[in-house]
């Protein structure tokens, strides 16, 4: 008892998330510390708060990303501590039509925002995450409903196809077709095809991918560019985000898995190489458009987690890529864990000395002072990604209860009264003008 206490004290005072990556138990332990710090930012399960919302400065889409990260955490570690609040938050935000267009968000919601939530739902369906009760919408149905919305919004009148960034004409960004929106649509279609073998989905996935190439948004060397203005369909914003590249890589791997076609293999190989060229520097992931110049927005500080998860999924769906991907994931997991050594004066409420920084680069991967939901999520996904290294697609040790077929333990009841969704009230997600082109970070 005494020595346990002493150890705990030592650990706390020494700070940092120290992980022995040869031990699953140590990896899970480190991940649980990061997850704990992450969830201190979330108060949607507290009385008076709205499930599925993060406080400012996080936009609504980011909770969708958070739930994907938490589902991934559960899949890899078997720790179901956050399953109830994940179910509760996802179901709270489905809206009247079960398509992740809740009244509180609709006015400012973009196609990419809606799609990110749908990707959390499909991750739940794929992984056997405990199903909602019979009277609630089911995970896969939610993903299908969003897919069908996006089909309706495919716009052939401008640029021969593609989704616009925004859903509504009155939102800035309606005149922009972006790779994030088309990427979530693509990833969703690809993974629905893998799940159902319904060719409606694979037909759409092929069409979206071809459109991205024809529009010049996926280049010959498989770089995924930000988007194109609908004005003349030539004015391309060449910014690259790891989010968009991740979406196309993951979807392509799903289609390769489902079809074993050489076309999808070529695309997986191309995108994997493209991702390495764009976002891996000295072995470490870098959000290339903004990290080194320290201008990443709150949104883009959450993109690296998508890259990590996409690579992890790719290594499973296209196992021949594992030899390339797994060493990269391991290197980054080590760097990410090292960077979880901050004790910021405010904002972070996790265990002292374990706040995760944003940048993992630099020979020592020290804490860079940037903290938040994105930083914690990125590191969490990176650390747990190494749990698949021991055996193909199998974590060693406790495996999560896969399809249990039972309802989740009932989510903590909350009685939202007022409080208000300040994020929604603030309106648009970040808009940035670069080179005269308006583009969106979601
Ligand atoms: C909300 O979730 C956290 C875990 O992140 C938990 O510690 C807390 O007790 C939960 N609050 C309620 C009211 O259930
Ligand atoms: C295939 O998916 C589409 C789109 O969700 C749906 O409309 C159609 O009914 C499905 N077909 C079958 C045979 O299930
Ligand atoms: C598809 O994914 C499964 C699960 O990871 C894997 O076992 C299988 O080998 C993959 N198929 C192909 C063609 O790579
Ligand atoms: C990295 O850490 C080592 C040992 O603490 C130190 O000697 C070295 O100067 C550090 N390098 C950088 C680039 O900070
Ligand atoms: C899995 O864990 C057990 C017990 O900790 C260990 O004996 C075994 O070698 C591990 N297997 C792999 C593949 O890591
Ligand atoms: C929408 O926002 C209002 C006011 O902030 C809140 O009372 C309500 O619970 C929210 N609705 C949903 C479905 O989250």
Nearest CA to ligand 2 atom 14: 198
What does the pLDDT look like over 128-177, one tens digit per residue?
Answer: 999 999 999 999 999 999 999 999 999 999 999 999 999 999 999 999 99
Ligand nearest to the CA of 46: 1
Q: Which long-range contacts (CB under 8 A, 24 or more apart) does 291-297 make?
A: 291/358, 291/359, 291/361, 292/361, 296/358, 296/370, 297/430, 297/432, 297/441
CB of 106 closer than 6 angstroms to any ligand 6 atom: no
Closest ligand 3 atom to Cα of 316? 5
Give mean pLDDT in consecutive 10-residue pieces for the chain, a chain of 442 residues.
Answer: 43 72 96 98 97 97 98 96 98 98 95 98 97 98 98 97 96 96 98 98 98 98 98 96 98 98 98 98 97 97 98 97 97 96 94 96 85 98 85 39 34 30 30 38 46
Rounded (10°) CA dihedral 209, 212, 215, 217: -150
What pLDDT score does 83 carry? 98
Predicted TM-score (pTM) of this structure: 0.86
Does 349 contact ligand 1 (Cβ within 6 A)?
A: no
Which ligand minimizes its atom distance to the CA of 36? 1
Q: How far is the CA of 132 from the centre of ligand 1 (A)?
A: 20
Nearest CA to ligand 3 atom 9: 319
Is residue 21 lining ligand 5, measured as CB closer than 6 Å?
Answer: no
42-47-48-53 Cα dihedral, nearest 10 degrees: 20
Q: Compute the C-alpha angle 347/420/153, nearest 5°.
A: 100
Sequence length of the chain is 442
Q: Is there an atom of ligand 6 within 6 Å of 50 CB?
A: yes
Cβ neighbours of residue 332 under 8 Å, at least 6 residues apart?
283, 284, 285, 308, 360, 382
Q: Whose CA is nearest to atom 4 of ligand 6?
A: 420
Ligand nearest 361 Cα, by number?
4
Helix (H), strand (E) at residue 178? strand 176-178
**Structure confidence at residue 400 (pLDDT):** 39
Give Cα 131 distance to the centre of its chain. 21
Is 434 in a helix, a strand, or coil?
strand
């Amino acid at each position: 008892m005494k020595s346990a206490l002493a150890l705990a004290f030592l650990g706390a005072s020494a700070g940092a998330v120290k992980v022995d990556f040869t031990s699953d138990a140590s990896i899970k332990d480190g991940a649980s510390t990061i997850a704990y710090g992450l969830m201190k930012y979330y108060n949607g399960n507290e009385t008076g708060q709205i499930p599925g919302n993060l406080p400012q400065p996080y936009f609504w889409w980011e909770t969708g990303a958070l739930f994907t990260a938490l589902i991934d955490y559960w899949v890899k570690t078997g720790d179901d501590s956050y399953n109830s609040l994940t179910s509760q938050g996802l179901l709270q935000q489905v809206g009247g039509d079960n398509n992740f267009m809740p009244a509180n968000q609709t006015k400012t919601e973009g196609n990419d925002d809606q799609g990110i939530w749908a990707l959390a739902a499909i991750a739940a369906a794929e992984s056997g995450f405990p199903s909602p009760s019979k009277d609630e919408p089911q995970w896969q149905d939610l993903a299908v409903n969003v897919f069908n919305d996006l089909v309706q919004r495919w716009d052939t009148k401008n640029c021969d196809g593609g989704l616009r960034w925004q859903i509504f004409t009155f939102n800035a960004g309606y005149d922009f077709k972006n790779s994030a929106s088309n990427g979530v649509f693509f990833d969703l279609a690809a993974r629905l095809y893998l799940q159902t073998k319904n060719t409606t989905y694979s037909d759409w996935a092929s069409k979206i991918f071809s459109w991205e190439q024809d529009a010049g948004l996926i280049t010959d060397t498989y770089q995924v560019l930000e988007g194109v203005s609908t004005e003349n369909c030539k004015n391309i914003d060449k910014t690259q985000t790891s989010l968009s590249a991740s979406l196309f890589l993951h979807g392509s791997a799903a289609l390769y898995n489902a079809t074993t076609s050489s076309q999808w293999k070529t695309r997986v190989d191309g995108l994997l190489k493209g991702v390495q060229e764009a976002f891996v520097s000295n072995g470490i992931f870098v959000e290339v458009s903004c990290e080194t110049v320290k201008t990443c927005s709150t949104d883009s500080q959450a993109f690296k987690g998508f890259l990590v998860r996409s690579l992890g999924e790719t290594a499973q769906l296209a196992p021949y890529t594992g030899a390339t991907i797994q060493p990269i994931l391991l290197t980054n997991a080590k760097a990410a864990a090292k960077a979880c050594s901050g004790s910021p004066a405010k904002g972070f409420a996790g265990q002292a000395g374990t706040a995760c920084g944003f940048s993992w680069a630099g020979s020592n991967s020290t804490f860079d002072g940037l903290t938040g939901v994105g930083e914690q999520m990125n590191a969490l996904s990176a650390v747990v990604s190494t749990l698949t290294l021991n055996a193909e697609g199998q974590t060693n040790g406790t495996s999560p209860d896969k399809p249990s077929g039972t309802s989740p333990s009932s989510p903590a009841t909350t009685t939202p009264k007022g409080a208000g969704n300040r994020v929604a009230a603030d309106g648009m997600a970040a808009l940035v003008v670069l080179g005269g082109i308006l583009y969106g970070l979601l």
